[in-house]
Structure 1
């Protein structure tokens, strides 16, 4: 990093989606550790309906636009208050336009155009986590893109395995103690279950919850293990109801957080004391957080959405396996399976069926600290890359 243009301020733009915000926070945290930069955070306007569609279509001009284009787009996309807020932050810190001491970072597509537009106006560096759908990675100084998106190899792109996240291992024990003080457990084995939800490819149905979660709870009771469960915002109300019912009738369950009812994120605390962590396959984020926390993830396969879309995904995968198409052609479930295969080869992930077999064969259950020996922290790696390439 050029000492004359040292990074002083990191601005996180949030779209309100916890998984996206945690990816940005993770990179910002480690970059701040390297530079001492102050971290500030602001939500972008959350447009809906026709206004959202218009803003997305109009944002394409930002890919090769000017400061005037940026101002016009922000004015049309309810961004005036955001401009004033950032301007006030800069004035309070005596940050000059174009000083080379500010990085704006965001994750996902909603916040990306606000990121680039503010970068044009204040002449500061911009970073994106994931590939924004409308404007792509080209306008960004730094783009942190997962390997399963098969990004082009360009100087402004850093490729990650899975997702960067805000799991800080040195904090986990303290957070674990806080949670266990309210929900004590004397069991030798403590299992955490991270339940995701429905999206374009996967479905966590009430039937699946009753079958798979019920099986794990029965096994826990026979093994003397205590169970800690969290759902996600994508968990359907019907699936939540079954989770709650199962938890109420199982003596093994010591803790349940239903994400639709509570903003608290218990995952870091759960990672601080768990001997096993089960993750549903719909969330690469949860799997990545688990492995970053030093655990082997036990992957719970869920229901796959079928129809023509599922057939096309499988057909594409067959053509890729036959060498008729490049890996970048993969989409949907086969694309995410690449991530899980990579983790499995590194010993960081095991399929639930294999976990059951290994448990039957092992005389001793796993304990805390029995996760992968090699550190996995993509947020930390991405932050070091930005630091090394800061001009």
Structure 2
């Protein structure tokens, strides 16, 4: 059976991207997926620069990694195993060293044969059976791309709850300030679930079953996850900092009618229902088209 090896730096977001692609490939063809940590920098450099190659046992047929610390290991193992290497981001070393780069549009990658431009980062979400009348509101927090406006976010949440009568569930994130969580608890009662009371499966379960999802603009990864899960997606705007790449990606989604911005609470600006958004599936098809597996 063909083998996919993920180089994982241990960061949940990066692992989520790599597994999103690997699992999408596995839904199309028979493969085994394994993971390993990056090598030490000097060991990886030694192999890249012509160091002696060790004896090999199990050879992976495809290498996948996300995160800057995985780059040298991807290239070292590419040389060691003669397996194609896929990097899921704009790498910190020349993109020509990799067989395939999956780069979000907001990073403005060049158009080359070994580059696939994606709408946001890949993820593992799959759509589920939607519960009629269900809705989720996801609240982020301070980030390097946006100025956190607690009062503005709370006003938008209150306006949404008053405008749209749904079975709402409101969740926070690890970045949400304690004062914002306290205010959400007072505003939403037992409909509010703080991040500390959720596990790793909470968000995928909620997005799989929710018809509608509103997300603060700083939480870009959740916007793409909600789209992949088949939700109707709205964005609660925040003021972005200068040269905000994340904001440009969200704006492109809005232009395409894939998301709407508050206060379009009825979501009249969304494109026709039935639009499928799943970048991991699209990229998996591109990988298989290259006949590496």
Q: TM-score, normalised by structure 2?
A: 0.84
**Counterparts of 1:47-126 in structure 2 under 5 Å?**
55=41, 65-68=48-51, 91=57, 95-96=58-59, 102-126=61-85
Query: Would you say the 8 A contact 1:227–1:252 is kept in 2?
Result: no
Contact 1:168 1:293 (8 Å CA) reproduced = yes
Following the alignment from structure 1 to structure 2, what is the Cα–Cα distance between the partners of residues 42 and 352?
42
1:389 matched residue in structure 2: 290
Structure 2: how far apart are the matches of 1:10 and 1:153? Answer: 26
Is 1:32 aligned with 2:26? yes
Which of these residues, 99, 103, 106, is aligned with residue 145 of structure 1? 103
Contact 2:181–2:194 (CA<8 Å) still a contact in 1? no
Q: How does 1:206-245 map to 2 (within 5 A)?
A: 208-217=149-158, 219-220=160-161, 223-233=164-174, 235-236=175-176, 239=177, 241-245=178-182
How many positions carry a matched residue from both structures? 292
1:24 offset after TM fit, Å? 0.9
Specify the structure having the higher radius of gyration (Cα): 1
Kindly indicate whether the alpha-carbon contact (under 8 Å) linking 1:66 and 1:120 is maintained by their aligned counterparts in 2: no
1:317 corresponds to: none
Verify: 1:339 aligned to 2:249, yes or no: yes
**Contact 1:59 1:113 (8 Å CA) reproduced:** no
Greater share of helix: 1
Residue number in structure 2 paired with 1:277: 213
Structure-2 change in CA distance of 1:253 and 1:383 (3 Å) = same
Instruction: For 2:192 and 2:272, locate their aligned partners in 1 and report how far apart those are by CA, in whole Å.
Output: 23
Structure 2 SS opposite 1:152: coil
- 1: CA distance between counterparts of 2:257 and 2:9? 34
For structure 1, list consecutive stretches of 5 or more residues without a partner in the other structure: 1-6, 48-54, 72-82, 178-187, 311-331
Match status 1:13 vs 2:7:
yes
Question: Could you list the runs of 5+ residues in structure 2 that have no partner in the other structure?
Answer: none
CA distance in 2, matches of 1:17, 1:212: 28
- SS of match in other structure, 1:342: helix
Aligned-CA RMSD value:
3.3
> In 2, distance between residues paired with 1:16 and 1:262?
20
User: TM-score, normalised on structure 1?
Assistant: 0.65
Following the alignment from structure 1 to structure 2, what is the Cα–Cα distance between the partners of residues 10 and 390? 14
Measured after TM superposition, the shift of residue 42 of structure 1 is 2.9
Q: How far apart in 1 are the matches of 2:96 and 2:44?
A: 12
